[in-house]
Structure 1
Amino acid sequence: MMKLVIAEKPSVAVAIANVLGVHNRKDGYITGNEYIVSWCVGHLVQSAMPEDYDPKYKLWKLGDLPILPESFKTVVIKETKAQFKVLSALMNSDKIDSIICATDAGREGELIFRLTYNKANCTKPFQRLWISSMEAKAIRKGFDDLRNGTDYNNLYYAALARMRADNVVGTNFSRLYSLLYNQNINIGRVQTPTVNLVVQRERDIANFVPTPYYVLEADCGDFVAISENIYDYDKVDLLYKSVNNNSAVVISVEEKQHKENPPTLFDLTTLQRTANKEYGYTAQQVLDIIQGLYEKKLLTYPRTDSKFLTDEMVDSTVEIIANILKSDAVTANKNLNINLNAVNIDRVVNNSKVSDHHAIIPTVTLAKSDYTVFENLSSAEINCLTLVINRLLAATYTPYLYSETIVKVEINGYIFTAKGKTVIDSGYKTILNENMSEHILPPGIVKGKEYTDVTVNCLNKATTPPKPYTDDTLLSAMENAGNTTDNSEYKAILKQCKGLGTPATRAGIIERIIKTGYIIRRNKNLIPTAKAVSLIDLLPDEIKSADLTAQWEMQLEEISSGKISSDEFISSIYKYVSDICNTKKSSTVDKSVFKEDNKSIGICPRCGKPIIEINKAYICTGGKDCGFILWKNDKFFTDKKKKLTTAMVKTLLSKGKVKVKDLYSAKKDKTYDAYVTYEDTGKYINFKLDFKR
């Protein structure tokens, strides 16, 4: 008799098979010794759609809503049907007496295995492999400590309940709003609040009104001191006249020493955010890159929400750091003079903050490698790998220490402040190559010293609007979605469950709302389309806010801990969906609410993709890979008292020229008509006048 090991993907199965000494490759599995090692390809089984319950649901009708199945069905995913057949046959083979679940250790990994196991009608006993690294040592230890599969029943029940609820909410609300508004509308528990975040940010930017303020700058000769921000012009004008060309007296000199502790280790979200800031990689790109590095045994498990390690990892992590510091493979750090005795591993160890998986760190395999490990890696892989290496070294190194000198001077009764900064110990910042700029005040500044004929300048300043979301900042907003709710209980829950989505799903959510036409990526910025704005305007708060996720997570956690049954949770979801469907079906709606300005107005001359209109420009949907953009308020037109319109852009794109009437000539102070053409440099669009056509 043999044991069947089921991994989540082929590469993981190969790594496990190598450790077990299983090398006989077959179609869909590997066999040898007493084991057969096979794999899923992610999810092989998914929720059934309404039409799978009853063919009548193929036609979308308001009268059929809500669709609330009495029993839950699943279907085999067509694209991976062949591998499901392989697994089903193996599970039910007389040669197999037991099964080992080796899918990723977490809620989703548990669900992937259980759905496949149940769909295959398998009843054989199974054990659970629970590991956070694909290194041989970790795999062997995991097989020495296999756990009873039923120990994770509640985790599975919670995962299945979440899947069922997402399916019911998504299918019912997507059909409901699509039918009501004659639009193809996709609604989801996580994706819709995420769209809402982006829409609200765009509105904050559009509605932002700068607040002017003033800062007085006093030049004392040896140094410059500044006032606090002043928002009243009359006050600053009066103050300026009072202090200019007057004497300044030093009333205090204070020196403070500051300690800035190193950052924590990377979890998935912080690694995605850092790589987006440093290199412009999208969240999905980073996940794909580090998943590949994990499968190559160079990084530990990537889909983690922890920034800490466990006690049992102390010795191996110190060994990893020591080997990294000796290895020429770590090109970014080979010239660093880091004292291994200064490494403080304790600050990154906290058992209570590690649940399914620990923080992302390099593996022993990487640490013991030489230059050849990088030869088959892409530049993006090397960049992400270096980020993780440097983060481990920085997180366990010494704090950054600096001294701050604060000088306060009084000029005619008003206080001005000057600050100096001196680095004492660069600490971890040396590893991360972070800014450590100094501003050293001159010696001789003592209390009571007087500076005569001080010149004062008035600086006009203004508050600045918030910036559009990037992958970096949207990931942060999703993780901290509790900040958007006024409900203190929900705020606490969202903080505990770490916001909208999970580290493993957030990248996919961002890509999904781009693919479905709610968000476009403009360089690094994420901008809502008119479709997104219209959708958010018509949806009730309970669908577009993060509160629903808070309610669910509270109950899913109770399912995981065995406090409530999944049936209780599903009953509450059915009531919620039923109430909204029945209320909305009987209401009157304005079907013209969806604006049309997010539709294609032409074809991009650079790449052939659609051009769409956004708030301030007409842009190519190809994003930064193309970069074609026409600004509505391009200086070429504003100088001539014109604005680029949709009609003009349509003609320009289709004919290469457009006739524009009443262009203004400042030189002649009169208007004229002319054709406008454009030249594409590959980077910029330059408009030109043409009087010959």
Structure 2
Amino acid sequence: MFPRASLVRRPEAVQRPGMTKSLEYLLTAGCLKDFVGRNSQPEGQSVPMQGKGLIITEKPSVAKDIVQALGGFEEKGKGDYYESETMVCTYAVGHILTLLEPEDINPIYKRWRLADLPIIPEDFKTKPVPNQKTRLGVIKKLMERNDVAYLVNACDAAREGELIFREIVKHVGVTKPIHRLWLQSMTKKAIQDGFKSLQDGMKYIGLAAAAECRAHADWLIGMNATRALTVRLKAKNQRGVSWSAGRVQTPTLSLLVERELEVLEHNPQAYWKVIGNFEANGQVYDGTWYDPNFDRKNATREQKEDRIFEKAKAEAVIQTIAGKPALASETRKPSPRNPPMLFDLTSLQRTANTRFGWSANRTLRAAQRCYETHKVLTYPRTSSKVLPEDYKPEVSRILDILSGTGDYGPHAKHLLDKGLLNQDKVFNNEGVTDHFAIIPTGEVRALEGDDQKLFDLVTRQFMASFYPPSVYEEVERITEVGGNYFRSKPPRVLKEAGWEAVFGKVPDKGDKSFAALIPGKDKAEGVSVKSSEATLEEHETKPPARISEAGLLSLMENAGRHIENEELSQALRGADGLGTAATRADIIENLKNREYVDENLRPTPKGIRLIDILHRINASRLTSAELTGQLELFLNEVEEGKRSPGDFMREIATYAKDVVDSTRDFDFEQIYPDENPLGPCPNCGRPVFERAWFYGCSESTKRAGKKACDFLIWKDFNGRYINRNAVRILLEKKVTPELDGFKNANGKDYRAVLELQGGKLVRRVVENSTEVDPNQPQLDVNLEPIAPCPLKCAPDCMVIETPADYACQTKVKGRDAGEKRGAPGFAFPRVLCKRNLTREDLVTFLQTKETPIISDFVSKKGRKFSAKLVMENDWTGFRFEFPPRVKKSAAKDDEGAGTEAAATASPAPAEGNG
């Protein structure tokens, strides 16, 4: 995948400031040597446990759990750290360091110029993340204390956790020995056991090296590709627009774009189905004609065994069977559905998207709150669906606690009484990755909103995994008449609920509408039935379905299965595909924030154009999962000591240079040649060709004021990508069919027809085509009133839940009467800036005219921020109020996030939300 040729040295005259004279520096990997060779004892020697140990966790909540589990700690410095007689414990807040930006390396890089690319730093140095200088200062001061003799890495047990800790150690520059705490659960016993068996940091040097190599590789590829593409693709009048590219982000976008182009290029075809009408034992049933000799192997996606693409042939079938005797055969058989596996993060996100319509990010936020804040679920950022084999006593303990609850009690008691099934599948040490599956911890808390729904889903899945299969009865009846065959497949009937009982399913009482051909028999052949007149149904082929968020998560997770190179495929499968369980939600959100896809994951013209350009300039590797597969293969070799970090970085640097060269050297006229004309120009009759940004004839693209024809069709037309097929139809028929995907000023979708009138393109909006906003939250409703309406709209007017907000009964009645947003009354959002607001938040707001400070708001650009909502305009509006800022530099960044959030959700006088 990566070039194996020796690196090309640049002439001295074109050396870049902040770069080495050649890429050979990376062979020595001085920074990596410092990174992994420091802070460990020689192999085979134990680390002395003298003096105090400094524990560094990845999150504040984990630090609290550890000090509570170990005991004997006192809070110091207003919660900055904790200290006991033998240990000190402090925390990071995720990544508190980030790699230097190019302009930090040298001011010349403030201007994005192709002449300065590729940017290859001599050393990958770090700087504090905005607002984290104080946190870094606390950690540094503790690290440098004379009584601190060794460090304990208590960050998450994975590659990223190792990176967070080692970055801090390297940045501070201390050389004290390192121990590693490797936890897969945050229970008190697990923490205590973990500290009894701390590992020597030397054991994780390979993991640390691979972690930093991955971070540096992503920087090199992403930074250079993004700058090169932005310089080449950004219009002259665009400011602040970036054409971001990356190792995982771009292949993910490519999956969506490939499907979108299939949808757009689809040409509907008419086909017919013949529905036969029959009677057996006094009961009427239908059957659909099918071809028993259908060749599935060589069929196209649109060809099916029950589709007839010639109407005359379909009509002939009806004539052939008229008045003929019919014989029916039938098979009834049980169809078991195996119990589900436990959830890993990706399967949990898929299920929540399918059942609740949640985004991957929304699911992750709820799971994190259930883990960190409520302590009711285990660590969610896992790619494992099994438990350790020694976890059986813990499962019994959790079931014992659940057996005392109302909702889960009967199912938990059943498992305790009958015993746990499927233990070989659920308990499997080999299937445990850095963390085991997501299960309840046994803590019982009162939850609301998203947190309650997610906890319920995980808890029921946990219990269901130990149940027997559910069993359905499937029936297939084949009716033959006049040499034609008709298939009948009624809905399955649930005979034994099995594991589905945990989700509320009960066995069906029986479907008498489709009784057996021979009563009491599961099989029947050659039974005479009556044949009535058949009917003809006309249909039209549909394009493939667009990819949902659940579908995209599956495609990302299974990306390696479609790679022909077996070695790369295995590497990608071992890395769980594109991205990780912990990062896929952020990748998807980044695609939305960078306007490559909309909220429904439909690629925008910008996203389609990026992938199209990359393919045309022979940079397709950047759009392929194979790049990630190759990188993971090399990272595994680095972790195992089979490849040096320097060799790895040399490969990456060479690849980054190739991407820049491909981007710098292409010519738009060469990658969009005058080939494959789409039709004649309606103005001058010359052939119309595809260009980079539009479709036009040769005369419409002349420069320097010599344009002889003004006909062109922009690819980005009112937010919709105009594809080749639409242009081809337009030039041929002067009008297109109804096209979806156009967007109005509010970002809502609508349908329109494009027409050519006098050589000009005209858009005709389809009446009543504006769709319901797919981003409007539609949540479950608790019908119990919450509190009296603060506006006192009417006697006994109460605030209640609606699928989208909390509103008083007067306002709800006004909406039902058609007043919609203009309806008078009180309303308060249930989801604001992607944060679920609970009934408790509302009650506090009504009592004190403000909420507590709420974390996890997400701005329009994907930045998290904290704020409280304060009442305005006598209960008809509210505003954000942000926590006080301590430092001027921090205030600048917080203010930026706050301004952005306020613009996203400014209060509306009548509704109280934006």
Task: Normalising by structure 2, report the TM-score.
Answer: 0.63
Distance 1:261 1:453, change over 3 A: closer
Distance 1:213 1:326, change over 3 A: farther
Distance 1:299 1:336, change over 3 A: closer
Q: Deviations over 1:376-404 (max 9, x none)?
A: x3310000000100101111111011233
Match of residue 632 from structure 1: 752
Distance 1:94 1:580, change over 3 A: same
Distance 1:556 1:288, change over 3 A: same
Q: Please list, as runs of the form range in 1=range in 2, the aligned pairs for 1:159-308 lying within 5 A after superposition.
A: 159-182=211-234, 184-221=242-279, 222=283, 223-228=285-290, 229-233=306-310, 234-250=312-328, 252-295=329-372, 296-308=374-386
Match of residue 92 from structure 1: 144
Counterpart CA distance in 2 for 1:192 and 1:681 is: 44
Indicate whether 1:532 and 2:607 are aligned. Answer: yes
Counterpart CA distance in 1 for 2:381 and 2:463 is: 21
Match of residue 671 from structure 1: none
Counterpart CA distance in 2 for 1:257 and 1:642 is: 58
Match of residue 407 from structure 1: 477
> Number of residue pairs matched?
615
Give the CA deviation at 1:193. Answer: 1.4
Counterpart CA distance in 1 for 2:233 and 2:129 is: 30
Indicate whether 1:105 and 2:157 are aligned. Answer: yes
Match of residue 115 from structure 1: 167
Match of residue 104 from structure 2: 52
**Which deviates more, 554-563 or 460-469?**
460-469
**Which deviates more, 491-500 or 333-342?**
333-342
Q: Please list, as runs of the form range in 1=range in 2, the aligned pairs for 1:587-626 lying within 5 A after superposition.
A: 587-589=666-668, 593-594=692-693, 616-619=741-744
**Which deviates more, 591-600 or 504-513?**
591-600
Counterpart CA distance in 2 for 1:348 and 1:621 is: 48
1:4–1:98 contact (8 Å) kept in structure 2 = yes
2:740–2:751 contact (8 Å) kept in structure 1 = no
Give the CA deviation at 1:162. Answer: 0.6
Match of residue 666 from structure 1: none
Give the CA deviation at 1:219. Answer: 2.2
Report the AA paired with residue 207 of structure 1.
Answer: E
Indicate whether 1:516 and 2:594 are aligned. Answer: yes
Match of residue 503 from structure 1: 581
Indicate whether 1:358 and 2:436 are aligned. Answer: yes
Look up the SS of the partner of 1:527 in the other structure.
coil
Q: Deviations over 1:9-49 (max 9, x none)?
A: 11111111111221323242122332211000111111122
Distance 1:574 1:339, change over 3 A: closer
Indicate whether 1:313 and 2:362 are aligned. Answer: no
Match of residue 667 from structure 1: none
Counterpart CA distance in 2 for 1:615 and 1:542 is: 31
Give the CA deviation at 1:131. Answer: 0.9
Match of residue 628 from structure 2: 549
1:616–1:633 contact (8 Å) kept in structure 2 = no
Look up the SS of the partner of 2:535 in the other structure.
strand
Distance 1:484 1:205, change over 3 A: farther
1:246–1:454 contact (8 Å) kept in structure 2 = no
Q: Please list, as runs of the form range in 1=range in 2, the aligned pairs for 1:299-448 lying within 5 A after superposition.
A: 299-328=377-406, 331=407, 338-340=414-416, 341-344=418-421, 345-364=423-442, 366=443, 369=444, 373-374=445-446, 377-419=447-489, 421-433=492-504, 439=511, 441-445=514-518, 446-448=524-526
Counterpart CA distance in 1 for 2:67 and 2:413 is: 40
Counterpart CA distance in 1 for 2:746 and 2:174 is: 47
Give the CA deviation at 1:518. Answer: 1.3
Q: Please list, as runs of the form range in 1=range in 2, the aligned pairs for 1:70-89 lying within 5 A after superposition.
A: 70-89=122-141
Distance 1:210 1:434, change over 3 A: farther
Counterpart CA distance in 1 for 2:318 and 2:553 is: 45
Q: Please, which runs of 5 or more residues in structure 2 have no aligned partner? A: 1-50, 236-241, 291-305, 519-523, 673-690, 695-713, 720-738, 755-760, 770-817, 823-914
Report the AA paired with residue 537 of structure 1.
Answer: D
Q: Deviations over 1:474-501 (max 9, x none)?
A: 2122212235545454344333322111
Task: Normalising by structure 1, report the TM-score.
Answer: 0.83
Q: Please list, as runs of the form range in 1=range in 2, the aligned pairs for 1:120-135 lying within 5 A after superposition.
A: 120-135=172-187
Look up the SS of the partner of 1:632 in the other structure.
strand
Match of residue 639 from structure 2: 560
Counterpart CA distance in 2 for 1:436 and 1:46 is: 56
Counterpart CA distance in 2 for 1:529 and 1:153 is: 43
Counterpart CA distance in 1 for 2:433 and 2:398 is: 22
Counterpart CA distance in 1 for 2:159 and 2:596 is: 28
Report the AA paired with residue 158 of structure 2.
Answer: G
Q: Deviations over 1:175-216 (max 9, x none)?
A: 111112235211111111122222222212111233444333
Counterpart CA distance in 2 for 1:589 and 1:210 is: 33
Distance 1:581 1:336, change over 3 A: closer
Look up the SS of the partner of 2:136 in the other structure.
helix
Give the CA deviation at 1:615. Answer: 5.5
Counterpart CA distance in 2 for 1:225 and 1:383 is: 41
Give the CA deviation at 1:333. Answer: 6.3
Counterpart CA distance in 2 for 1:478 and 1:621 is: 31
- Structure 1 vs Structure 2 CA RMSD: 2.9
Counterpart CA distance in 2 for 1:293 and 1:352 is: 27
1:332–1:386 contact (8 Å) kept in structure 2 = no
Report the AA paired with residue 197 of structure 1.
Answer: L
Distance 1:575 1:473, change over 3 A: same
Distance 1:404 1:580, change over 3 A: closer
Taking every aligned residue pair, what percent have the same amino acid on both sides?
32
Distance 1:472 1:619, change over 3 A: farther
Look up the SS of the partner of 1:227 in the other structure.
strand
Counterpart CA distance in 2 for 1:102 and 1:460 is: 64
Give the CA deviation at 1:227. Answer: 2.2
Give the CA deviation at 1:294. Answer: 1.0
Indicate whether 1:477 and 2:477 are aligned. Answer: no
Q: Which has the higher contact order (CA 8 A, sep 6+)?
A: 1
Give the CA deviation at 1:337. Answer: 7.9
Distance 1:620 1:293, change over 3 A: farther
Report the AA paired with residue 7 of structure 1.
Answer: T
**Which deviates more, 429-438 or 471-480?**
429-438
Q: Deviations over 1:488-534 (max 9, x none)?
A: 5434433332211101011111111211121210xxx2122211121
Match of residue 13 from structure 1: 63
Distance 1:9 1:538, change over 3 A: same
2:74 to 23, 28, 48: 23
Q: Please, which runs of 5 or more residues in structure 1 have no aligned partner? A: 602-613, 623-627, 635-640, 650-679, 685-693
